[in-house]
């Protein structure tokens, strides 16, 4: 067990944990942040995406020891921000949600894309969510959701 | 006042899913939760000689068939009850459940599992359809390995073939397909209020109740099933959860504490049912003018080690065996064969995609053999309203295939491109037409399911909706609310529709077979209509409706003759592809579709169904390879079993035609499966057109394209 300090959704947190425990399990079990999901446990599906210092990472591949002193944002944190709210509203109106299991990860990927490029092309949007598997939508309406967020979010990005 | 029912609304479940607040089964907290793992057979076919279990630490349990209480049966009560809860003397497939290990720590459970030694007497297994038919190693079931066989005859096929000028034959094969719902299988069993209670990610809460009641030997009402938000299913959470629920319930019954059984992804891919592989041979008899005079179809599906739903899947495969065509003389033979693979089971389309793949690809190949463009040839044989079907009834649907073809042709430019690409070695275009019977086969809705729906006036102008059909991503919670609200004249958000709990809702049937909107939705509409009339009776007023088959439909289940389905949904897909001449990879350039689902209950939800269904089918056709090696699925992770990503296929361009169905709510018909049916044959037709060779098997991998081109 090791004492770890990091910033979680904007707040300083301290935790005693095995540094090799997966960040996914720490967030879900120790902080009850269950917005991220375990879809595969090997970094293929993107359902467990979080932002680590602003970069998208699969939390199933990150030992929690790595986040010591760093900044972690989960879907619960993101959707409280203006940008997060914009994506949530845009996805809801675009019909981008079906079973919902991949959805929080998609929201994280969308936020990360719009963070770096506020006017992405269709191709760039598809590339940005290519690490997120979805079995329900065929991706078309998720792409629409991101375009909608891009349109509505002129001021927030 | 109101706009059209098709006008999109925001899905009722969108915000909680988007904000991460939606709780799936592994997000629930239970006090003193124990965990379970399955001890599985690692042999495809063997007699069990001995299972040696180490002494277990306190608080850990080994649960097997001996723990089934008196009166309970070691058979899972599914459509057929041949699948044991726990294997006792023999195993028929790799991964068969031998026992559960239950305890408080996951790591310790894994340690115990690794210390258990099972001694087997191995028998020679059969894996492929051919090995199953040849009874390799001796018959697994009966004396011929056939779970069941059917014959359909229309007209006089024998004479048609005798007098034929030419016979064209092809054999078509489809592979296993894994559902790969994003949320793996999972449930938690608890002992609550003196009842075995299951919280489960499932499509059919009442199926589980029946399976568990049988295993425990108690009346069904002594079991409670609460559906939790379900992260995708596609048929994979139709019957298969019974295979998890029954042993879990035996453990809960003994231990009386909450127990969680959630699969990891590798376990889920390796040890859950897949779509039935198929081998279908079609012979077409032509007269001297190249008109089709007869067809002979021989369909075989690989059922795996236990029958489960294989015969019902087979029925759908043969009932869709000549697709959308009116052929005068037809013989169809169908067989489901036993092998030592993991038992195959329900997957979106339920046999129809296999039958439709074969007939559509075959019709295109016959067209090319006689020198006609496929669409032109196929259109000559489109079934029309009033024509005789394969089950010797009249086609009662308003068939709009001609209009649908014109529409897709306008969108895609198919007719021009198919000629132009004849001379282009790097481009191809394919087309497929399909229909899909909505609801249970024949009169199953009336004779087996007998769906019931209830509604109730609640406080504050709201109304409660009580059904057992579930939201699994397809949008049902929004669609049924819209139907009820429209009838009541209220906002759809004022309809209360919780995830089904078998203690609180009537049995409106399983969430399968494209029946939820058409059949359950119609009962919702009737309940809401009556409730509106009786609204003044006050809070607590309840209405209840039971399914009644539309008049004028006849069906004989013993002979499979009559009106095979209450109605059909129809579809056409066009797929355009290009070849990379260096890697032999096929790039899908464009996808178009036109569907007739009666009246879409929500354009956006329906559009999501189309995109999702078409892309899932293109995965099936192009990239989802799933092979058997020594009885196991060789592909068992998301890295080696590839489903489409956002980069694999372009956007789909879709249109609907409105063709209201008299007995569906606001004209709706089935929609969830027809959207899957046409893309795979359209893709195979496009690749065949591109390379100028016959593509008879999916998935079409680049190595197959290379082999075909080098021949």
Q: What is the pTM of this model?
A: 0.98
**Rounded to an integer, what distance in angstroms lies between the CA atom of residue A110 and that of residue A87?**
8
Minimal Cβ distance to A134: which of B19, B182, B604:
B182
Give the residue with greater pLDDT, A77 vs A157: A77
- Token pair 């309840």 is found at B542
Topology of the domain comprising A79-152: DNA polymerase; domain 1 (1.10.150)
pLDDT at residue number B348: 98
Does 3.10.20.30 match the CATH number of domain A2-74? yes
**Rounded to an integer, what distance in angstroms lies between the CA atom of residue B29 and that of residue A29?**
10
Q: Strands, E, within B94-200: which ranges?
A: 97-103, 117-122, 146-154, 166-174, 186-192, 195-200
Contacts of A24 in chain B (CB under 8 A): none
CATH 3.10.20.30 domain locations along chain A? 2-74
Output DSSP code: residue B144: T
Confidence of residue A157 (pLDDT cuts 50, 70, 90): confident
> Are B140 and B126 within 8 A, CB to CB?
yes
Question: Å from A125 to nearest chain B CA?
Answer: 9
Domains of chain B: 14-22+444-546 (3.30.365.10), 31-123+179-270 (3.30.365.10), 367-439+561-710 (3.30.365.10)
- Using the beta-carbon criterion (under 8 Å), do B646 and A91 form an inter-chain contact? no
Nearest CA in chain A to B348: A136
Minimal Cβ distance to B13: which of A79, A100, A102:
A100
Contacts of A143 in chain B (CB under 8 A): 646, 651
| Phi, psi at B257, each rounded to 5° | -135, 160
- Using the beta-carbon criterion (under 8 Å), do B23 and A103 form an inter-chain contact? no
Nearest CA in chain A to B615: A138
**Rounded to an integer, what distance in angstroms lies between the CA atom of residue B544 and that of residue B455?**
7
Grouped pLDDT means (10 residues each) for chain B, 711 residues: 89 98 97 96 98 98 98 96 97 98 98 98 98 98 98 98 98 98 98 97 98 98 98 98 98 98 98 98 98 98 98 98 98 98 98 98 98 97 98 98 98 98 97 98 95 98 98 98 98 98 98 98 98 98 97 96 98 98 96 98 98 98 96 96 98 98 98 98 98 97 93 81
Minimal Cβ distance to A37: which of B8, B183, B233:
B183
Termini Cα distance of chain A: 40
Least Cα distance to B356 among B275, B441, B435, B274 occurs for B435
What value does the mean pLDDT take over residues A13-40? Answer: 98
Q: Order of strands across the sheet with B278-286?
A: B146-154, B330-338, B292-304, B278-286, B166-174
Nearest CA in chain A to B653: A140
Residues 6 or more apart in contact with residue B246 via CB below 8 angstroms: B76, B85, B211, B212, B214, B215
Neighbours of B393 (CB within 10 A): 16
pLDDT at residue number B711: 81
Q: Is the pLDDT of residue A56 over 80?
A: yes
pLDDT at residue number B513: 97
Nearest CA in chain B to A128: B646
Contacts of B185 in chain A (CB under 8 A): none
Q: Is the pLDDT of residue A79 over 60?
A: yes
Minimal Cβ distance to A98: which of B10, B19, B608:
B608
Confidence of residue A154 (pLDDT cuts 50, 70, 90): confident
Q: Is the pLDDT of residue A51 over 80?
A: yes
Question: Å from A68 to nearest chain B CA?
Answer: 24
Task: Tell me the pLDDT tens digit for each residue of A98-145.
Answer: 999 999 999 999 999 999 998 999 999 999 999 999 999 999 999 999
What value does the mean pLDDT take over residues A84-91? Answer: 98
Tell me which residues of chain A, numbers 52 to 91, contact chain B at a CB-CB cutoff of 8 Å. 74-76, 79, 87-88, 91
Minimal Cβ distance to A104: which of B20, B26, B473:
B20
Helix A82-94, helix A103-116: angle, nearest 10:
120
- Token pair 């959707």 is found at A79
Tell me which residues of chain A, numbers 6 to 45, contact chain B at a CB-CB cutoff of 8 Å. 28, 32-42, 44-45
Minimal Cβ distance to B232: which of A33, A94, A136:
A136
pLDDT at residue number B305: 98
Confidence of residue A155 (pLDDT cuts 50, 70, 90): confident
Nearest CA in chain B to A84: B19
Q: Inform me whether the C-beta atom of residue B499 falls under 8 Å from chain A C-beta atoms.
A: no
Tell me which residues of chain A, numbers 128 to 157, contact chain B at a CB-CB cutoff of 8 Å. 129-143
The tokens for B440 are 């249970």
Minimal Cβ distance to A75: which of B20, B23, B230:
B20
- Using the beta-carbon criterion (under 8 Å), do A103 and B616 form an inter-chain contact? no
């Amino acid at each position: 067990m090791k004492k770890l300090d990091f910033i979680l959704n904007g707040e300083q947190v301290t935790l005693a944990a095995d540094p090799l425990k997966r960040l996914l399990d720490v967030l879900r079990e120790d902080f009850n942040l269950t917005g991220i999901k375990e879809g595969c446990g090997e970094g293929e599906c993107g359902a467990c995406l979080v932002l680590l210092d602003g970069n998208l990472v699969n939390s199933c591949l990150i030992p929690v020891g790595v986040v010591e002193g760093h900044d972690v944002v989960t879907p619960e944190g993101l959707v409280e921000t203006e940008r997060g709210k914009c994506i949530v509203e845009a996805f809801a109106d675009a019909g981008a949600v079906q079973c919902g299991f991949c959805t929080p990860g998609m929201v994280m990927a969308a936020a990360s894309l719009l963070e770096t490029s506020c006017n992405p092309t269709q191709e760039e949007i598809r590339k940005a969510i290519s690490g997120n598997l979805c079995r329900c939508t065929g991706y078309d309406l998720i792409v629409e959701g991101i375009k909608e967020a891009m349109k509505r979010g002129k001021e927030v990005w | 006042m109101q706009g059209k029912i098709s006008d999109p609304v925001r899905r009722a479940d969108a915000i909680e899913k988007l904000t991460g607040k939606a709780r799936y089964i592994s997000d629930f907290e239970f006090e003193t939760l124990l965990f379970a793992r399955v001890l599985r057979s690692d042999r495809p076919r063997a007699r069990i000689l001995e299972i040696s279990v180490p002494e277990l630490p306190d608080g850990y349990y080994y649960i097997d068939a001996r723990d089934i209480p008196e009166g309970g049966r070691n058979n899972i009560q599914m459509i057929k009850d041949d699948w044991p809860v726990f294997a006792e003397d023999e195993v028929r497939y790799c991964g068969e459940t031998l026992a559960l290990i239950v305890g408080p720590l996951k790591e310790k459970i894994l340690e115990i599992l690794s210390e258990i030694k099972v001694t087997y007497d191995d028998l020679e297994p059969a894996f492929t359809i051919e090995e199953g038919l040849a009874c390799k190693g001796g018959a697994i079931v009966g004396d011929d390995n056939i779970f069941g066989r059917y014959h359909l005859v229309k007209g006089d096929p024998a004479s048609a073939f005798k007098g034929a000028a030419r016979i064209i034959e092809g054999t078509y094969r489809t592979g296993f397909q894994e559902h790969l719902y994003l949320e793996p299988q999972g449930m938690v069993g608890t002992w609550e209020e003196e009842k075995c209670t299951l919280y489960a990610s499932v499509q059919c809460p009442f199926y589980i109740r029946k399976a568990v009641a049988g295993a425990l030997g108690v009346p069904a009402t002594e079991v409670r099933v609460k559906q939790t938000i379900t992260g995708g299913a596609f048929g994979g959470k139709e019957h298969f959860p019974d295979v998890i629920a029954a042993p879990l319930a035996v453990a809960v019954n003994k231990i009386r504490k909450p127990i969680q059984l959630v699969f990891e992804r590798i376990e889920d891919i390796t040890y859950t049912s897949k779509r039935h592989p198929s081998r279908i041979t079609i012979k077409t008899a032509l007269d001297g003018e190249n008109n089709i005079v007869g067809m002979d179809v021989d369909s075989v599906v690989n059922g795996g080690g236990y029958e489960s739903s294989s015969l019902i899947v087979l029925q759908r495969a043969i009932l869709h065996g000549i697709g959308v065509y009116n052929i005068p003389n037809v013989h169809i033979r169908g067989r489901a064969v036993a092998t030592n693979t993991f038992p195959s089971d329900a997957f979106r389309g339920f046999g129809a995609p296999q039958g439709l793949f074969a007939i559509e690809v075959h019709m295109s190949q016959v067209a090319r053999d006689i020198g006609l463009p496929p669409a032109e040839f196929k259109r000559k044989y489109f079934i029309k309203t009033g024509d005789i079907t394969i089950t010797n009834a009249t086609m009662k649907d308003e068939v709009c295939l001609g209009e649908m073809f014109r529409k897709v042709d306008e969108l895609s430019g198919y007719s021009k491109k198919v000629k132009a690409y004849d001379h282009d070695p790097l481009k191809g275009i394919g087309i497929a037409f399909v229909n899909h019977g909505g609801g249970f086969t024949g009169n199953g809705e009336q004779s087996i399911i007998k769906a019931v729906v209830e509604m109730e006036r609640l406080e504050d102008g709201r109304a409660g909706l009580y059904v057992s059909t579930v939201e699994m991503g397809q949008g049902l919670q929004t669609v049924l609310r819209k139907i009820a609200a429209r009838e009541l004249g209220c906002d759809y958000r004022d309809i209360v529709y919780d995830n089904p709990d078998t203690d609180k809702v009537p049995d409106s049937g399983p969430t399968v077979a494209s029946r939820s909107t058409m059949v359950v939705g119609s009962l919702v509409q009737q309940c809401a209509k009556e409730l509106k009339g009786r609204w003044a009776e006050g809070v607590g007023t309840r209405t209840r409706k039971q399914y009644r088959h539309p008049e004028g439909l006849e069906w004989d289940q013993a002979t499979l003759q009559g009106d095979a389905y209450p109605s059909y949904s129809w579809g056409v897909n066009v797929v355009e592809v290009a070849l990379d001449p260096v890697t032999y990879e096929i790039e899908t350039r464009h996808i178009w579709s036109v569907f007739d689902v009666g009246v879409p209950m929500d354009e956006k939800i329906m559009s999501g169904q189309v995109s999702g269904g078409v892309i899932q089918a293109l995965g099936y056709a192009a990239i989802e390879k799933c092979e058997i090696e020594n009885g196991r699925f060789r592909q068992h992770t998301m890295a080696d079993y590839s489903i489409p990503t956002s980069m694999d296929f372009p956007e789909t361009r879709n249109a609907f035609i409105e063709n209201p169905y008299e007995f569906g709510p606001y004209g709706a018909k089935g929609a969830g499966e027809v959207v899957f049916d046409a893309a795979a044959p359209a893709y195979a037709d496009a690749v065949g057109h591109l390379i100028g060779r016959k593509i008879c098997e999916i998935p079409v991998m680049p190595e197959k394209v290379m082999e075909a081109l080098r021949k």
